[in-house]
Amino acid sequence: MTSTSSAADAPSCAACFEAIGRVLQQAARGDLEGRVSPLPEDAEAREVAEALNALLDLTDAYVRESRAALQHVAEGVYYRRVMEQGLLGSFGQAAGVINQAMKAMGDKVAGVEALRGSLLQIADEVASSAGAVETSAQGLAELVGRVRQSAAAIDGSARNTNENVSGVVAATEQLSASISGVGSLAGSTSQVSRDVVDRARTTAQAMVELQDASEQINAVVALIREVASQTNLLSLNAMIEATRAGDAGRGFAVVAGEVKALARQTGEATVDITHQIQSVQELTRQASAAISGVQPIVDQLASMAEQVSVAVEQQSEATQEISGHIHQAAEGAREVAGEIGEITEAIGGADQAAQEMFAAAQMVAGQATRLRAELDGYLGGSAP
């Protein structure tokens, strides 16, 4: 403390008030270190000096405590409080107000700090989400591109399939027409085979009848041969009798000679006829044997023709059914081609949407990064 008077020489009343005035002037300049010392002997002056010293003590304590607390606030420390003990009256009230303000400031700063952390976390999450969306959008765009290529390939395949199915339809129609022609031909062949079988049977029957007729002719020829032989004997007897009659039997001898000649010619003719009949009978037997050998083959041919006709008819039905299915497949291929065209258009729209989403995600990611930088710059000063 600054001493304003000598301890040995007690100041007079005027000197006491002069010392008090110097301390007040020193306090008015902001120097709160000055005190009235020693205290005056005069009771009134002593009372004033003590009150002034007490006021300066309170003011100095208040200023020191306030400065220390506010110094901590400036450093971001809000738990330092003004010591209210010993501060009386307005000083104590002011200290209480300062402490309440410091507490409110601390709470506000803590809230701002929490808000800063939350905002930065949100900005980080937004940036991360935007990055994820950007990555997803880029992957989606690439996927849509690959799907578009696959759809284009499928569209080409569908068109080729449609063309191939159309070709198969035409070929099936030609096959159906050919099978119909084969069926008609097989039916005709079957009918001809049946006619051949019938005629073979008729021929075989005719050969049997011819064989019977030959046998009957052979019997008639044998009878004629017998008659010719007997006629020859009778003509010989007649010539003998004519010779015995002499001139009277000469004419009869001539007739007998003619009869004998006719009998000889008849006998020779019957021999030739017998030979011819034998030849006919041999040929008939050969023809019958040949027909008998051919008939099973013709029967088998007729049976095979019937089977071919039935198989061709079944094949024709199957071909018609196949043709119907192929027509349905062709219609389905055309529908698939149309649907693939619509899918291609939809993929084009999805590709454009993916590109737009990718651009938007990039924009959001940039804005999130800028937001975090601005929040960090704006709120960074509030950190302890």
Q: What is the pLDDT of residues 199-238, one digit of tens each?
A: 777 877 777 787 787 788 778 778 877 887 888 788 778 7
Closest CA to 135 of 364, 361, 372, 352: 361
Rounded to an integer, the average pLDDT of 361-382 is 74
pLDDT given for residue 200 in this prediction: 72
The 3-state DSSP class for residue 10 equals coil
Tokens of 99: 């402490």
Q: Where are the alpha helices (DSSP H) in 75-88?
A: none
DSSP per-residue string spanning 157-222: HHHHHHHHHHHHHHHHHHHHHHHHHHHHHHHHHHHHHHHHHHHHHHHHHHHHHHHHHHHHHHHHHH
Q: Chain centroid to CA 280: how far?
A: 84
Say yes or no to pLDDT of 31 above 70.
Answer: yes
Exposed / middle / buried, residue 138 (Cβ in 10 Å: 0-12, 13-18, 19+): middle
Strands, E, within the chain: which ranges? none
Mean per-residue pLDDT of the chain = 77
The 3-state DSSP class for residue 34 equals strand
Q: Is the dihedral of CA 212, 214, 217, 222 positive or negative?
A: negative
Q: Which amino acid is at 203?
A: T
pTM: predicted TM-score of the whole model, two decimal places: 0.37
Q: Which residue(s) pair with 2 in the sheet?
A: 34
Q: Which amino acid is at 220?
A: V
66-114: per-residue pLDDT in tens?
899 888 888 888 888 888 887 788 878 888 888 888 888 888 878 877 8
113-129: per-residue pLDDT in tens?
787 777 778 777 877 87
295-354: per-residue pLDDT in tens?
677 677 667 767 767 776 777 777 777 777 777 877 876 776 677 777 777 777 877 877
- Side-chain-side CA neighbours of residue 347 (13 Å): 19
pLDDT given for residue 305 in this prediction: 67
